[in-house]
Amino acid sequence: MANPEKLYRRLIEQSLNQQPLCLGEDHWPVSIKLGSDRWINAKMEALVDAGLITSQVRAGKKSWNLTQYGHTSLSKKHDLCYGTMRVRKILKTQQDRSGITLVTFTYYIHGLPDWAKNQSVRFANTDLDNLVTGIDSVRYQANFSQDNRGEKYLLNEPEQIDLLY
C-alpha cells in the first residue's frame, strides 16, 4: 500500500495551489488622480519601499511603474506572486465516526521572495501578512473520504483552524 501521508500531502498541496498567492495587481503602470484613492496609494507606496516599483506625479496624476526588480518578480500571470503553500508537517490523522479522515497540518511558503517579507508590504497586504506570520505555527485541517474503489479524495479545501489576531 502506498504511503498515506505522501498521498495526503500531494492532494492537500494540489488544493492549496489552485489559487496562486499573488497581490492581485496585474495591470502596470497603475495610476490614480492625485489625492484620490488613499488605499491604492498606501499599497503602491509599500511596493515602492520594497523596491518593486517607482512613483511619479505628473499632470494631477500619480503613477507607479515597475522597476527592473519588479519586472523580474512578475509571475507568468503578470502579477506579483509570493510563492506556493506547501505542507510542512502532518501533525495528526484521525478518522471520525462517519469514516471521514481528518488531517491536521502546518505549512510553509515555497519560493517566498524577499520583497514579501518587507514590513511595509506585509502591513499593506493583510492576507500576505497573515500567511507569512502563520508559517510553521498555524494549523490547517483537510477532510478526506474514499470512493468505492478505496481511492482517497479531498472533500473540500483545507481550512485554517488557528486564528491569529
Instruction: Give the three cell numbers for residue 34.
Output: 492625485
Residues 89, 150 within the same domain: yes
Lowest mean pLDDT across 10-14, 23-27, 79-83: 23-27
Average pLDDT over residues 17-26: 89
Same domain membership, residue 91 and residue 14:
yes
- Whether residue 73 sits in one domain with residue 141: no
Please indicate, yes or no, whether residues 28 and 89 belong to a single structural domain of this protein. no
Bridge partner residues of 15 (DSSP): none
Contact 106, 139 (CB under 8 A): yes
Q: Find out whether 12 and 142 touch, Cβ atoms under 8 Å.
A: yes
As a whole number, mean pLDDT of residues 39-60 equals: 94
Looking at the structure, tell me whether residues 128 and 150 fall in a common domain.
yes
Give yes or no: residues 161 and 93 share one domain.
Answer: yes
pLDDT tens, 66-96?
Answer: 999 999 999 877 899 999 999 999 999 999 9
Mean pLDDT of 142-147: 94
- Cα–Cα–Cα angle for 23, 24, 25, rounded to 5 degrees: 100
Over residues 96-109, the mean pLDDT reads 95
Question: Within a 10 A sphere around the Cβ of 112, how many other Cβ atoms?
Answer: 17
The confidence band for 52, taking pLDDT boundaries of 50, 70 and 90, is: very high
DSSP symbol at 2: -
Residues 2 and 35 placed together within one structural domain of the fold: no
Q: Where residue 1 falls among pLDDT bands split at 50, 70, 90?
A: very low
DSSP string, 59-126: TTEEEEEE-HHHHHHB-TTSSBB--EEEEEEEEEEEE-TTSPEEEEEEEEEET--GGGG-HHHHHH-H
How many separate domains does the chain show? 2
CB 31 within 8 A of CB 62: yes
- Same domain for 128 and 163, yes or no, is yes
- Cβ-based neighbour number of residue 146 at 10 Å: 12
Per-residue pLDDT for 164 more than 70?
A: no
Q: What value does the mean pLDDT take over residues 125-136?
A: 95
pLDDT of residue 2: 60
Residues 116 and 164 in one domain: yes
Q: pTM for this one?
A: 0.87
Q: Are residues 17 and 28 in the same domain?
A: no
Residue 93 pairs in a beta bridge with 103
Domain that holds residue 53: 24-80
Indicate whether 6 and 34 sit together in one domain. Answer: no
94 plus 16 within the same structural domain:
yes
